[in-house]
Amino acid sequence: MPAAPSAGPFTLDQLAHECGGTVAGDGAVLIHQVNTLERAGAGEIAFLANPKYRKQLEGTRAAAVVLSADHAALTAVPRLVVDQPYLAYARIAQRLNPAAVPPPGAAAGAQIDSSARVAPSAAIGARAVIGPGAQIGDACVIHPGVVIGARSSVGARTVIHPNAVLYPDTVVGADVVIHAGAVLGSDGFGMAETASGWLKIPQIGRVVVGDRVDIGANTTIDRGALDDTVIEDDAKLDNQIQIGHNVRIGARTAIAGCVGIAGSVHIGKNCKIGGAAMISGHIEIGDGVTIAGGTVVAKSLHQPGIYAGVYPLDTMERWRHTAVRVRRLDELAARLEAAEKMLRELAPDAAGAAKKS
């Protein structure tokens, strides 16, 4: 694989034109790379999106800084002033660091079935396997060791990194990025219990991925048992996520690493799910829901909002002390109920007044 191509340098004025921002200071300064406020030097641009890093802004040696109008007066360094500094930084970073694109064609050692249809502009890496009836679209990049199962299809400009696996009949849209080791279309966990053990239920659905989806390294997406498992357009999945069979993830939803989603969950559009959250099967999560990291979701969430179920961090000694009290809640509730009953029997009027207060 060739090294990543270099881009630029660009003037600050050029970057401002691409980001829709305005320049304060020398717009002719040349920028060839991005860096942090603390580490940036000559020819590098940094950004300030969080006010808590204002101290680093004061001492930065960056050639230029991306920031909002609220912070533009805090430094004399040439500034690119935008409404959303982090978004502008992302666009500049992409412009300065374009992905390496291998030449089209199949590398030595690639195995492409004679019935597969591979676009002439696609690049197929060494030891990649393209199965019978598979379709690979224009300008796709299939890195070494990737396995594309029979009858699977991959849309234009999609990039699949080394050793990812698409099981048979998997459908992947255009402009998708699938990172190394991801597995799409493996069997869902469908088992029927018998007197002598477990009976495996055939999983005959597919995995269907929309356009512009990102799938992180070692993420696994199970094929549907009957219906398809569906990842809608623009969804972003981090590394090491487990998605069970028949799950549907809505457009523009972002899910952080190590999340586990059990089977037949429907997640709406524009949701955000924090790392290590666990979602029980056969529930629905509506549009615009945010779930904090580490939260266990055991019931449907239909209303937009932020949901969390993580007990605050504490010292081990205090956590143990609290855990003992939590275990006694049922006992304490029973004692309180008994005391209220006794109070009602001894002094009904007083009990009623106490309840009103």
Span 261-275, average pLDDT? 98
User: What pLDDT score does 355 carry?
Assistant: 59
Please identify every residue annotated as catalytic: 245
113 close to 134: Cβ distance less than 8 angstroms: yes
Span 96-116, average pLDDT? 95
User: What pLDDT score does 270 carry?
Assistant: 98
Report the distance separating Cα 101 and Cα 336, nearest Å: 70
Average pLDDT over the chain reads 94
* Range with the poorest average pLDDT among 28-32, 92-96, 348-352: 348-352
Percent of the chain with pLDDT over 90: 89
Span 96-106, average pLDDT? 93
Q: Please give the structure tokens belonging to residue 144.
A: 């070494």
Provide the residue type at 231 as one letter: I
Span 264-293, average pLDDT? 98
* pTM to 2 decimal places: 0.89
At residue 304 the predicted structure's pLDDT band, cuts being 50, 70 and 90, is very high
Question: Above 60 in pLDDT, residue 173?
Answer: yes
At residue 356 the predicted structure's pLDDT band, cuts being 50, 70 and 90, is low
Question: Above 90 in pLDDT, residue 269?
Answer: yes
At residue 242 the predicted structure's pLDDT band, cuts being 50, 70 and 90, is very high
Span 24-47, average pLDDT? 97
At residue 135 the predicted structure's pLDDT band, cuts being 50, 70 and 90, is very high
